């Protein structure tokens, strides 16, 4: 599982990556730089993922595959892993990170743990 | 959702906790089972039953920890099919308090509850009033009220 | 410890029914539960073994209504009487405002009564409480049994009631003495609260 996270944290501008149990909001595996509150990001991101999943279902859009929240000082990127495991892969990145590359690595990591 | 506090200083931290963690029911209680504040319950007497049971769990797990020569357990989480309960203690100037939270699994999570419980613990600690509790005289004729009340209760 | 709130004018007190195994502590609560209107009581919670012996405690919250302008509620607890449940007995006793000692009037149970009373004293001491400072009422239960099997209330007072606290003959199964006992302990607890408030 940590190999899956290596793929993401290797991308320049990524400050941390986590595998989070979507149902519990608990960290399963993490590689984070100092200053990132892993448990808090995990709990809130999984809560958000749940709400987004319901919003997408309500809108008849099917299951979410990737979401990207841009903030002033960075970005939060999430990909739900396929399958019944209920894992979401989360990346915390700098504002000028290459989003396309991070997305690719998140999808690869999600595939690997799914 | 109704949030009520016997000790008013607990109200704001509890209201924030309920809002942030999306829990369904919460009790803040003393280790002896007395309720300081609650959210989501409709009847005071039901609150007391839950508090008695929560206090019993805290007391018995503390005792188990003592017998195992371990520091007290930090928290307990029981997950059911649709709901879960979270029980933990925190310390304030008024001594140790316990918090029981019941949450729906499709609305909240243990991660969220744990996260905002830490905030609740810090907020309650900061809000605890310093100094002694103000006291006031209980009216001298309470015995008559008590007799009337018990007579009514027992249908006499 | 009672919880008194002068802002919301609420009083909540914890009363523990103590005594040896099978003396009738749970029966007291059952009787009260049966007589108090549903609107004024909560559910009775019994943590019992499969054979209905109290394992941890029985619990019954009752709402006494307004007393002296205070919404007054009592939490009634029983403890498990059997000797080997002392750890849980001690836990239930924590923070109690008053104790009802339910003794078994049968002559052959006298030693058990004495032992339980001593146990009450030592468990209170473990909580840093002197039994002499705790509101206490004695109830001599099973007074309905044949006379040759039981001791009279006066004999039980001699054997158990060193402090000269209020004592009541009872037949908890049929309710005799249950109400009087509850009334007496309620008075003692609230009197102590009133004295504490004026101090």
**Number of domains composing chain A:** 1
What confidence tens digit (pLDDT) does each residue in B81-98 have?
999 999 999 999 888 999
Mean per-residue pLDDT over chain B, rounded: 87
**pLDDT value of residue C199:** 40
Contact call for residues C98 and C189 (beta carbons, < 8 A): yes
**Which residue in C59, C67, C196 is closest to B52 by CB distance?**
C59
Determine whether domain B3-153 maps to CATH 3.30.450.30.
yes
Residue carrying the six token digits 């509790």? B133
Which domain does A78 fall in, by range? 2-113
Per-residue pLDDT at B156 exceeds 70: no
What confidence tens digit (pLDDT) does each residue in C63-89 have?
988 888 888 999 999 999 888 888 889
Arithmetic mean of pLDDT, B126-132 = 82
Per-residue pLDDT at C39 exceeds 80: yes
| Cβ-based neighbours of C141, under 8 Å, separated by 6 or more | C23, C24, C27, C28, C102, C103, C104, C105, C170, C171, C172, C177
Q: Specify the range with the lowest mean pLDDT, choosing from A81-85, C106-110, C147-151, C170-174.
A: A81-85
Arithmetic mean of pLDDT, B20-49 = 88
Would you call A23 an interface residue with chain B, using a CB distance cutoff of 8 Å? yes
Cα B93 from Cα B127, distance rounded (Å): 10
C155 falls in which pLDDT band (50, 70, 90)? Answer: very high
Cα B144 from Cα C85, distance rounded (Å): 39
Per-residue pLDDT at C193 exceeds 90: no
Percent of chain B with pLDDT over 90: 50
Per-residue pLDDT at B104 exceeds 80: yes
Per-residue pLDDT at C99 exceeds 60: yes
Arithmetic mean of pLDDT, B42-63 = 85
**pLDDT value of residue B59:** 87
Q: B109, A43: Cβ pair inside 8 Å?
A: yes
Q: What share of chain A is helix, strand, coil (3-state, %, to 5)?
A: 40, 30, 30
Q: Please tell me the distance in Å from A35's CA to the nearest CA on chain B.
A: 16
What is residue A81's DSSP assignment?
P
**pLDDT value of residue C198:** 44
Number of Cβ pairs < 8 A linking chain B and chain C:
136
Q: C194, B48: Cβ pair inside 8 Å?
A: no
State the complex-level ipTM.
0.83
Q: Please tell me the distance in Å from A25's CA to the nearest CA on chain B.
A: 4
Enter the pTM of the model.
Answer: 0.81
Chains touching chain C at 3 or more Cβ pairs under 8 angstroms?
B
Along chain A (114 residues), what's the average pLDDT of each consecutive run of 10 residues? 88 96 94 95 94 91 92 95 86 96 95 86
Cα B113 from Cα A39, distance rounded (Å): 11
What is residue C12's DSSP assignment?
E
Q: C68, B44: Cβ pair inside 8 Å?
A: no
Q: B156, C198: Cβ pair inside 8 Å?
A: no
User: Quick one: CA dihedral C17, C23, C26, C27, positive or negative?
Assistant: negative
Angle, CA B121 vertex, CA C14 and CA C15 arms, to 5°: 5
Distances (CA, A) of C17 to C60, C75, C80, C192: 11, 11, 10, 18
User: Quick one: CA dihedral B32, B36, B38, B42, positive or negative?
Assistant: positive
Cα B54 from Cα B40, distance rounded (Å): 16
Mean per-residue pLDDT over chain C, rounded: 91
Q: Specify the range with the lowest mean pLDDT, choosing from A96-100, B100-104, B128-132, C35-39.
A: B128-132
List the single residue in A with minimal CA-CA distance to B117. Answer: A40
Q: What share of chain C is helix, strand, coil (3-state, %, to 5)?
A: 40, 30, 30
Cα C79 from Cα A11, distance rounded (Å): 63
Q: How many CA atoms lie within 13 A of A30 on its CB side?
A: 18
What token pair was written down for A109? 């990591």
Per-residue pLDDT at C195 exceeds 70: yes
CATH number at residue A72: 3.30.450.30
**pLDDT value of residue B1:** 57
**A and C touch per CB criterion (3+ pairs under 8 A):** no
- Paired residues of B65 in beta bridges: none
Q: Which residue has the higher pLDDT, B46 or B81?
A: B81
Domain spans of chain B, in order of start: 3-153
Distances (CA, A) of C158 to B154, C132, C167: 31, 17, 11
What confidence tens digit (pLDDT) does each residue in C110-146 have?
999 999 999 999 999 999 999 999 999 999 999 999 9
Where does B108-150 show beta strands of DSSP type E?
none
Ordered by where they begin, the domains of chain C are 3-194 (3.40.50.300)
Taking contacts as CB-CB distances below 8 angstroms, the residues of chain A near B109 are: 23-26, 43, 46-47
Q: Which residue has the higher pLDDT, B30 or C197?
A: B30
Taking contacts as CB-CB distances below 8 angstroms, the residues of chain C near B43 are: 42
**B and C touch per CB criterion (3+ pairs under 8 A):** yes
Q: Collapsing DSSP states into helix, strand and coil, what is residue C169?
A: strand
């Amino acid at each position: 599982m940590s190999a899956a996270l290596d793929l993401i944290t290797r991308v320049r501008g990524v400050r941390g990556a986590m595998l989070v149990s979507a149902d519990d909001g608990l960290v399963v595996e993490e590689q984070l730089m100092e200053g990132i509150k892993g448990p808090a990001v995990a709990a809130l991101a999984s809560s958000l993922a749940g709400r987004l999943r319901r919003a997408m279902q309500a809108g008849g859009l099917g299951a979410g595959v990737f979401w990207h929240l841009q903030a002033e000082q960075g970005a939060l990127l999430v990909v739900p892993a396929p399958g019944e495991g209920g894992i979401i892969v989360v990346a915390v990145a700098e504002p000028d990170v290459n989003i396309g590359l991070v997305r690719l690595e998140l999808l690869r990591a999600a595939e690997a743990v799914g | 959702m109704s949030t009520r506090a016997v000790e008013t200083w607990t109200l704001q931290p509890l209201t924030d906790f309920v809002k942030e963690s999306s829990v369904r029911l919460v009790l803040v209680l003393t280790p002896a089972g007395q309720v300081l504040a609650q959210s989501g319950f409709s009847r005071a007497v039901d609150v007391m039953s839950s508090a008695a049971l929560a206090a019993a769990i805290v007391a018995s797990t503390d005792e188990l920890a003592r017998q195992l020569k371990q520091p007290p357990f930090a928290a307990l989480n029981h997950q059911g099919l649709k709901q879960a309960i979270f029980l933990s203690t925190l310390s304030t100037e008024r001594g140790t308090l316990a918090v029981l939270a019941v949450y729906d699994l499709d609305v909240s999570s243990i991660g969220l509850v744990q996260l905002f419980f830490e905030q609740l613990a810090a907020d309650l600690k900061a809000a605890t009033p310093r100094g002694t509790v103000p006291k006031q005289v209980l009216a001298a004729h309470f015995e008559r009220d008590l007799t009337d009340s018990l007579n009514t209760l027992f249908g006499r | 410890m009672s919880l008194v709130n002068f802002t919301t004018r609420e009083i909540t007190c914890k009363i523990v029914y103590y005594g040896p195994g099978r003396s009738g502590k749970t029966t007291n609560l059952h009787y009260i539960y049966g007589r108090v209107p549903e609107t004024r009581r909560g559910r009775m919670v019994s943590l019992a073994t499969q054979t209905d012996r109290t394992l941890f405690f029985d619990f019954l919250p009752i709402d006494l209504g307004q007393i002296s302008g205070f919404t007054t509620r009592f939490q009634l607890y029983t403890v498990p009487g059997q000797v080997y449940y002392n750890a849980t007995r001690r836990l239930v006793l924590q923070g109690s405002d008053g104790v009802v000692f339910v003794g078994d009037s049968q002559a052959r149970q006298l030693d058990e009564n004495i032992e339980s009373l001593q146990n009450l004293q030592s468990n209170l001491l473990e909580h840093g409480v002197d039994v002499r400072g705790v509101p206490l009422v004695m109830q001599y239960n099973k007074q309905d049994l044949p006379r040759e099997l039981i001791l009279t209330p006066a004999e039980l007072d001699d054997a158990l009631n060193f402090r000269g606290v209020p004592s009541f003959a009872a037949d908890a199964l049929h309710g005799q003495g249950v109400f009087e006992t509850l009334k007496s302990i309620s008075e003692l607890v609230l009197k102590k609260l009133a004295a504490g408030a004026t101090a």
